[in-house]
Amino acid sequence: MPRSLLTSGSSLAFVIAMAACPGVASANEELLRLQQDPNQWVMPTGDYANTRYSALDQINKDNVGDLRVDWTFSTGVLRGHEGGPLIIDGVMYVHTPFPNNVYALDLNNDGQILWSYKPTQDPDVIPVMCCDTVNRGVAYGDGMIFLHQADTTLVALDAKTGEVKWSVKDGDPTKGETGTSAPMVVKDKVIIGNSGGEFGVRGKVTAYNTQTGEIAWRAYSVGPDDEMLVDPQQTTELGKPIGENSSLNSWEGDQWQIGGGTTWGWLSYDPELNLVYYGTGNPSTWNPVQRPGDNKWSMTIFARDADTGMAKWVYQMTPHDEWDYDGVNEMDLFDRPINGQERKLLVHMDRNGFGYTLDRETGELLVAEKFDPVVNWATRVDIETGKPERDPRYSTEANGEDVNTTGVCPAALGSKDQQPAAYSPQTGLLYVPTNHVCMDYEPYQVAYTAGQPYVGATLSMYPPEGEDNLGNFIAWDPVAGEIKWSIPEPFSVWSGALATAGDVVFYGTLEGYLKAVDAQTGEELYSFKTPSGIIGNVTTYTHNRKQYIAVLSGVGGWAGIGMAAGLTGDTEGLGAVGAYKSLDQYTQLGGTLTVFSLPD
């Protein structure tokens, strides 16, 4: 049977087999089944492993050049459209940035709107959304669609009718806490993070009961061990219990209470190990002089038990961050041999410019290499200690004093932000949308006031010296820790990638092009310019036995914040406006879903 015509029955066999594994029997069997069905796209991440790989091959490298636009849908909302639609049982669920509308479209009836949800939110939440009014998508589980609104409300909608089943408030926007992340449903829980590190918000991840909305567990990123759900004798870093190396001992006084470490990125889940993986963001403030110490556990990968939330292991990538290198990017999970031994791997392409490969069961660090050659804040990462070896020339502090630093790479945007990579088991490569941006960094003293920006730095961003491209799309070998090929792009590649069994990889550009390239060589096979810049994630599905490619366009996000929010000063938008000021010569605002297919 062709892979593009796989049936849900074949996926059911997978569920039966998985149910025999320890720790899996009580899992959400519907999602375990559906994530294996390539004809649908049932999670924001594509699957629990966050691979964004599809076994569909009806569209392949031999015919992808024949793609055409099949249909479109206007969201009616300006600002940045991150994330992508879900496709479940002939219905497509499309979300928007603030005000976070949700549409259910009937694929059996020319995309007719079956229902829409249009929440009423206080517009005062907009000024406390640091980097545009984005939302990264809705999640499905137990017959419901889950939306994490900008005002931190988590709402459960009946997937068939749009009826609100329940809603809860997860945070307080008056203190700068907002919601931008996509939920993830695991077993009987829906898990969300929080945003607001630029306002001194304390990071957390919360699991709610899918049926009632009651809190099942909540784990903070920083603070006392019991509030972080960390056991100093059982939770490990690089195989050793953290013991006295706790969060409180890494902060001065009570700075941890406004210490950041927010959790607005992507979540992954291993059903066999029953572990949830995610990364934490920057410590607050951006001025490192004001927060001595390693600032644990900001900039950290967490592996937590899905049932209890207890942390099994942690790994802090950028202790005492000086450049806003959030660690929230996705964790890609797959099994591969390393040095002749099959390993359960976790791969994380971090904002700090290093690509990390770890054993996802133990947290052992296996690979840590630069995935952009211009990265200069650190020369290397010591595999034994896990610590980066910093280059003091690019530090933003010296002897307890602020230092204005120039030419540090990457910029605060990172060598990659939240735009998710895709992994192909056919090639063994990770396909990574990247930023190729450096910066000048001027820290300054800042006082904390609830609900007001707590940044403490002025940034200017620009391409690396002697270059003019702000982005690359790369193929990365996560075992060798090296770039296999790279495609330069005029602007950062801010869209999520999609890899398919047809040996094609898709991504979008800030100018608005959907591109298809050969997974083996990077050769461009197809390009089409959509109505606005693409910062959404490319998805694929089948309907009536025909494969489609879908992507949201709508320029914005941090890279497009100048256009989205009407900012013009070079250092506005936390430094991004100056670097991308020519973007408005290539695209304009506007939210559109564009769906592609091959001619009949």
Beta partners for 154? 148, 168
Q: Which of 317, 395, 310 is nearest to 353 (CA)?
A: 317
Task: Give CB contacts under 8 A, 24+ apart, made by 96-99.
Answer: 96/135, 96/591, 97/132, 97/133, 97/134, 97/135, 97/554, 97/556, 97/591, 98/125, 98/126, 98/129, 98/133, 98/135, 98/150, 99/150
Determine the residue type at 455. V
Compute the half-sphere exposure of residue 175: CA atoms within 13 Å on the CB side of its CA: 14
* Residue 9 phi, psi dihedral angles, 5° rounding: -65, -40
**Tell me, what DSSP letter sits at residue 201?**
P
Nearest to 199 by CA among 137, 278, 125: 125
Three-state secondary-structure class, residue 219: strand
Longest dimension (CA), the chain: 68
Could you give the angle at the alpha carbon of 355 between the alpha carbons of 48 and 505, nearest 5°?
Answer: 60
Phi and psi at residue 485, in whole multiples of 5°?
Answer: -155, 160
Q: Per-residue b/e over 240-262, b at no fewer than 16 CB within 10 Å?
A: eebeeebbeebbeeebbebbbbb
Residue 294 bears catalytic tag:
no
C-alpha to C-alpha distance for 476 and 485, rounded to whole angstroms: 8
CB atoms within 10 A of CB 117: 20
Q: Hey, what amino acid is at 373? A: P
Inter-residue contact 217 to 206 (CB < 8 Å): yes
Amino acid at 469: N
Report CA Rg, the chain. Answer: 22
Task: Print the SS3 string covering 551-576.
Answer: EEECCCCCCCHHHHHCCCCCCCCCCH
Whether the ω angle into residue 464 lies within 30 degrees of 0, i.e. cis, is no
Which H or E element spans position 148? strand 144-148
What is the CA 99 to chain-centroid distance, rounded? 20
Task: Give the C-alpha separation, 300 to 332, whole Å.
Answer: 15
Q: How far apart are CA 409 and CA 14, in angstroms?
A: 45
Measured over the CA atoms of residue 388, residue 392, residue 397 and residue 402, the dihedral's sign is: negative
The single-letter DSSP state of residue 318 is S
> Which is catalytic among the residues 47, 188, 324, 326?
324
In which region does residue 90 sit, left (phi positive, over 0), alpha (psi from -120 to 50) or beta (all else)?
left
Distance (Å) of CA 277 to CA 265, 358, 538: 11, 12, 22
Give the catalytic positions in this structure: 324
